[in-house]
């Protein structure tokens, strides 16, 4: 039997927010890829802190992408999203005109100390039991997230339907994987009622192609607002998330 190596290899796990953004983009564009399941923070065989993985990515983070045909290997979700769009001329999601892509870049850079706090403040304390957070740290992360959400509510999403304009771009994917994970239909960790523009945008994003497959892991994880999930639920969520991604891919391989 001959196996065909995918042009793209993505190291990650479906429950990881930045990994999900890359998975979603590749599914949206119907680009086949190999997904190598990783365990964030672990030194074990498939861990991001294993010496073999650290040789690839010294920062020990996922997502990590190898574009085998082009001898490209890279980390950082937003760099990967931009790379894939530029290389494939996906101008619908990352336009070529500076006036348009600068707004997307602006959001993507701001996201890291703002909206990404959604994970630090709400998700990781429930799911990443290997990480220890002080109350002060968590309070600050929650404040930072609320402030950033407020700026999306009043400064970005009241100007346009999506974050950087009236059509979807990669910054909407990057933002949704963080903000969307807290919705009542997923982890149920945040009350969006005071944010009507964000709520409208969340609904628009949930209607985007491949949303459900990219977010299957979160559906399996379920509401974690009352009780933190056990390790078996987390493993099952990643496994079923992986299967959903592979099943959708098999339709266009
Ligand atoms: N800025 C990075 C963040 C990546 C990141 O934090 N990934 C987590 C999983 S969600 C990770 O790999 N953590 C490894 C660890 O905790 O050691 C990106 O956007 O790609």
Give the pLDDT score at 10. Answer: 98
Give the pLDDT score at 253. Answer: 65
Task: Assign 249 a pLDDT band (cuts: 50, 70, 90).
Answer: confident
Q: What is the pLDDT of residues 229-238, one digit of tens each?
A: 999 999 999 9
Please give the torsion angle defined by the CA atoms of residues 203, 204, 205 and 209, in that order, rounded to the nearest 10 degrees.
Answer: 120
At what angle are helices 170-179 and 77-88 packed, to 10 degrees? 150
224: Cβ–Cβ under 8 A, 6 or more apart, which residues? 126, 127, 187, 188, 189
Ligand 1, atom 12: closest residue by C-alpha = 61
Between 252 and 175, name the one with better pLDDT.
175
The preferred substitution site among 37, 62, 181 for testing ligand 1, maximizing ligand atoms within 8 Å of CB, is 62
Please list the alpha-helical segments (H only) found in the chain.
17-28, 51-56, 77-88, 98-111, 117-118, 124-127, 135-151, 170-179, 196-206, 211-214, 216-221, 231-250
Q: What is the pLDDT of residues 118-169, one digit of tens each?
A: 999 999 999 998 899 999 999 999 999 999 999 999 999 999 999 999 999 9
Q: What is the pLDDT of residues 5-26, one digit of tens each?
A: 579 999 999 999 999 999 999 9
Q: What is the pLDDT of residues 26-54, one digit of tens each?
A: 999 999 999 999 999 999 999 999 999 99
Q: Is 76 in the pocket of ligand 1 (CB under 6 A)?
A: yes
Domains of the chain: 8-92+233-250 (3.40.30.10), 98-211 (1.20.1050.10)
Ligand 1, atom 11: closest residue by C-alpha = 61
Q: Is 14 in the pocket of ligand 1 (CB under 6 A)?
A: no
Give the pLDDT score at 207. Answer: 98
Give the pLDDT score at 23. Answer: 98
Q: Is 108 in the pocket of ligand 1 (CB under 6 A)?
A: no
What is the 125 CA–ligand 1 centroid distance (Å)?
A: 15
Average of per-residue pLDDT across 240-249: 95
Give the pLDDT score at 3. Answer: 47
Q: What is the pLDDT of residues 168-196, one digit of tens each?
A: 999 999 999 999 999 999 999 999 999 99
């Amino acid at each position: 039997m001959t196996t065909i190596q995918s042009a793209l290899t993505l190291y990650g796990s479906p429950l990881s927010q930045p990994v999900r953004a890359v998975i979603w983009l590749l599914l949206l564009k119907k680009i086949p890829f190999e997904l190598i399941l990783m365990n964030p923070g672990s030194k074990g065989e498939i861990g991001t802190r294993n010496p073999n993985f650290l040789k690839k990515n010294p920062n020990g983070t996922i997502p990590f992408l190898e574009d085998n045909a082009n001898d490209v290997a890279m980390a950082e979700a937003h760099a990967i999203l931009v790379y894939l769009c530029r290389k494939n001329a996906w101008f619908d999601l990352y336009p070529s005109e500076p006036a348009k892509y600068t707004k997307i870049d602006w959001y993507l850079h701001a996201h890291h100390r703002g909206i990404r706090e959604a994970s630090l403040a709400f998700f990781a304390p429930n799911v990443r039991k290997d990480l220890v957070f002080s109350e002060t740290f968590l309070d600050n992360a929650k404040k930072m997230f609320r402030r950033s959400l407020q700026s999306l509510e009043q400064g970005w999403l009241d100007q346009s339907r999506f974050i950087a304009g009236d059509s979807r771009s990669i910054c909407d994917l990057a933002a949704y994987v963080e903000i969307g994970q807290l919705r009542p239909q997923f982890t149920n960790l945040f009350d969006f009622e005071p944010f009507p523009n964000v709520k409208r945008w969340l609904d628009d994003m949930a209607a985007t192609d491949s949303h459900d497959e990219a977010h299957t892991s979160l559906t399996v994880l379920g509401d974690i607002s009352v009780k933190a999930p056990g390790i078996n639920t987390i493993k099952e969520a990643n496994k079923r998330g992986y299967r959903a991604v592979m099943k959708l891919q098999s339709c266009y391989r």
